[in-house]
Amino acid sequence: MKRIFQRFRTYWPFAVSEIQMVMSYPANYLMFVFGGIMTTFVTYYLWLAVFKSSPTATLAGFTLQQMIAYVFVSTMTSSLISVGTDQKIAREVRDGSIAMNLIKPIRYRIMYLFKAIGNFLHQFVLIALPLLFILIAVLHLMPGGITAVGLYVFSFSLSFVIQFLFDNLFGLVAFFTINTWGLSVTKNVVVAFFSGAVIPLAFFPEWLQRTLLFFPFGSMVYTPTMFYLGKFAGLQAAAAILTQGLWVVLLGILNHWAWTKAVKRLTILGG
């Protein structure tokens, strides 16, 4: 217990400094928050228009109310879990500043986990809380009740870890190719589309839905959001959580393997 506490004290400053860092450019940060909330509203009005012009009251099993909740929760989820770990690692490799982290008695990946937590925390306060306030207090949209919120929180923490491990894996690619900009852009588009952050996976053909749910993408945004909506129940809920758990383990192993390979290949640039 004491050791865990000690570990925590060692890495916690990385989370805090991440928060302090964004706070040191307040104008930039406000724009970021504003942009995040704007995106939500743009998508919101888009779906509103889609539903207005549709002859049926439900689309792919979503009512308008559910769709609105989906938009809020999925944007929030995807912004909370996307902290850009892959780009940060790639940058450190490219300019060689990774050296300054490797000369410290810390685990590089744990350090990044804590940085991700720091990013999560400030985004939670400044983006998620306002969105949640509008969603619950103003629009009264909590379709699945309090149990669904609990399940969401649990599923969300798994999807946070999945996205983190996934990004880490992409960051490690930089150890081999040095520049990963193109790859990163492609990855972000693919993830945004296939994770359900843009369109609910329920709108895709049945076979694609199944495939995506089985890939880590679906586990990132779609699964937790569906929990919030109370749309996953019974066997389906169990399967979804199981899939998420499986991905955590699988990506964790893959990460460990890739890291041991990558760190041997690493050539610190510059100097």
Partner 1 sequence: MIEVKHLTKTFKLKKKQPGLWGTVRGLFSGEYEAKCAVEDISFAIRRGEMVGYIGANGAGKSTTIKIMTGILAPSSGSCTVNGTVPYENRQQNARNIGVVFGQRTQLWWDLQLSETFSILKEIYNVPAKAYRDTMEFLDSVLDLHEFMTNPVRTLSLGQRMRADLAAALLHRPAVVFLDEPTIGLDVLVKEKMRQAIKEINQTFGATVVLTTHDLSDIEELCPRIIMIDHGRLVYDGSLQNIKDRYGAMKMLKFEVKEAGEARKIRLSTAGLAEQDLKSWCEGHSYFVSFNRHKLGIAEIVAQVMAQAEVLDISIAETGIEDIVKGIYRNELAL
Ligand X SMILES: Nc1ncnc2c1ncn2[C@@H]1O[C@H](COP(=O)(O)OP(=O)(O)OP(=O)(O)O)[C@@H](O)[C@H]1O
Q: For Mg ion, which is the closer residue by CB, 100 or 153?
A: 100
Smallest gap from residue 271 Cβ to ligand X (A):
5
Smallest gap from residue 256 Cβ to partner 1 (A):
16
Residue whose C-beta lies closest to ligand X: 267
| Binding partner of 142, given partner 1, Mg ion, ligand X, none, CB within 5-8 angstroms per partner class | none
Q: Is 181 in the site for partner 1 (CB under 8 A)?
A: no
Q: Is 270 in the site for partner 1 (CB under 8 A)?
A: yes
Residue 232 has phi, psi (to 5 degrees) of -100, 125
Q: Which of 35, 61, 96, 150 binds partner 1 (CB under 8 A)?
A: 96
Q: Which of 59, 64, 99, 121 binds partner 1 (CB under 8 A)?
A: 99
Asked if 144 and 150 touch (Cβ cutoff 8 Å), the reply is no
Q: For Mg ion, which is the closer residue by CB, 105 or 271?
A: 271
Q: Is 178 in the site for ligand X (CB under 6 A)?
A: no
Q: Could you tell me which stretch among 87-95, 174-182, 204-212, 263-271 binds Mg ion (CB under 5 A)?
A: 263-271
Joined together, the tokens standing for residue 24 give: 């040191």
**208-267 residues near ligand X, rule: CB under 6 A:** 267
Q: Could you tell me which stretch among 13-21, 72-80, 202-210, 248-256 binds partner 1 (CB under 8 A)?
A: 13-21
Integer Cα distance of 7 and 153 in angstroms: 25
Joined together, the tokens standing for residue 120 give: 């999560």
Q: List contacts with ligand X (CB under 6 A).
A: 267, 269, 271
Q: List contacts with partner 1 (CB under 8 A).
A: 6, 9-10, 12-14, 17, 20-21, 24-25, 96-100, 102-107, 264, 266-268, 270-271
